[in-house]
Structure 1
């Protein structure tokens, strides 16, 4: 009888142990939004700079391009961006061939919230943590930019998430024309495309640590006059005095990229 009671108590203890283990296992199940196995495509610009620059895991980069009617990016502009990426990223392949026209947003201006909403609606490709391809989203809209406070209309491009950039196609068209009086649309695109991708590469001091201090006060831009990453390059102001040449990165920006896995 005593033996039976001991066995019964032992069985109860073991049962409680199993229940306790099961509850513990269930309660530590991960939320998909917090899953470390998932790549976060909605982090801040520059947060994935090393993924852009190095080939430690992501050996390929694919750019998904969506544009609104009448604002398909020019092939010369995209070719210039491809050349820039190939010069600076350690990737086996870089593709910018996936272009899709999306419906007009039917707005004269777009805030960051509007642009993010458009991405949520239209973006098809996302980076897998276990994959080897880094997916980037490129959006061209048919209006001006609004900062939500009634200004920002001179902005031509924005990097708004770690793998997302948007461009104001209507604004680019408005300031383009026939050289030498006005810069061509292709030159404007080439310049602004490169500048915004520079932010997602972590320039300046925003994901790719500075090797020498060259950051402007209050923004992630370069203090060197004539550098691709100087503050005015993303605005119409820069093109009012445009020389016709797409600016290059200065040596300090290149040093930052190379120190973080780039070329």
Structure 2
């Protein structure tokens, strides 16, 4: 049975059991089932942080990107994301595959369930624990997030993130608006932060810097502060530069296998 078929079988069994959580949940640090040689790709965000952060199980990371018509990500945003990943992960190789256009689902807004179903249709690359490469996935849709229209991106599985192209386009339009590549670069990196288990949702905190209501950082200006994944950040607080992780978030990553 090939990896893609195994993924779809696991998805069918688990989607009904796993509740969507943008902030993730605590779980096994590696997430690898040694008996089944299968890496779980449909767990909650933050379930497998060490698989991303360290080189103990996987020495390379490969990112697959699908986008709906009109939503192709900017190369500048992908370049800044690659630099971010190389700076924070103990991987000998980070590869961002050439983005692939997929058909629009024709919706004005997308629910989390619809996004999971679309991944099942379009995603091609999955992780086998016997290999050296960890696979992650981006889907950029042409609508808004149904649950909260000002949200720019979500981490919806432990290896999967979605971004809402219509909202990103609206935020980047108009006189004086931030350029699209800065918005994309910021939200791409922020959602990867959730995939890494920040803050306190899979990667333990080394100090008290977790917000009370969600897996975000209390430090103003940190990449992981709550507003960064919403349009509000770019309307009110954005100074034109992609925020960095603060020292507390970096310490958390370093203690859990990252850099």
Partner of 1:213: 208
**2:228 paired with 1:249:** no
Task: Show structure 1 runs of 5+ residues with no match.
Answer: 1-31
2:182 to 164, 170, 187: 187
Question: 2: distance between equivalents of 1:105 and 1:192?
Answer: 22
Partner of 1:17: none
1:71–1:169 contact (8 Å) kept in structure 2: yes
C-alpha deviations, 1:91-137, integer Å up to 9, x for none?
01001123210001100000100100000111001000111100001
Partner of 2:140: 140
Partner of 2:130: 130
Partner of 2:229: 234
Q: What is the SS of the residue equivalent to 2:253? A: helix
**What is the count of residue pairs matched by the alignment?**
227
Question: 2: distance between equivalents of 1:43 and 1:240?
Answer: 33
TM-score scaled to structure 2, two decimals? Answer: 0.85
1:51–1:58 contact (8 Å) kept in structure 2: yes
**2:58 paired with 1:58:** yes
2:154 to 154, 158, 161: 158
Partner of 2:169: 173
Q: Report the Cα offset of residue 178 of structure 1.
A: 6.3
Greater Rg, structure 1 or structure 2? 1
1:81–1:194 contact (8 Å) kept in structure 2: yes
Partner of 2:94: 94
Which is richer in helix?
1
Q: What is the SS of the residue equivalent to 1:258? A: helix
Partner of 1:7: none
Partner of 2:196: 201
2:45–2:158 contact (8 Å) kept in structure 1: yes
